[in-house]
Amino acid sequence: MNQEHLAVYEVFVRSNRGLDHKHVGSLHAESPEHALMYARDCYIRRSEGVSIWVVESSNITASTESDVENFVEPMDDKPYRHATHYVLPEKVKNM
């Protein structure tokens, strides 16, 4: 079947109330509504989540490999920006 008319959607699933939606994968679909249904069938059929977001991939603006030099590397030598010296209380599970 001709798949040219199908758009790619990114799927985000929230596994539990209180947690963030996490990217779990992508899929092809005819429309956002179909994408949501396919996401349900492909990604949460074993009860992996309580909520789904789908976003057409073309709507995502992403950093590129060539951005690494000025986007990421300047952070490498600034350890004072890391909160590594704080001890996280055990009760705080999601940080």
53 part of the interface to another protein, by CB under 8 A: no
Q: For another protein, give the closer residue by CB, 14 or 34.
A: 34
The string of DSSP codes covering 24-84 is: EEEEEESSHHHHHHHHHHHHSTTS--SEEEEEEGGG-----GGGHHHHTGGGTT-GGGS-T
Q: How far is the CB of 38 from another protein (least distance, A)?
A: 4
51 part of the interface to another protein, by CB under 8 A: no
Write out the residues near another protein by the rule CB under 8 A: 1, 3, 6, 27-31, 33-34, 37-38, 40-42, 45
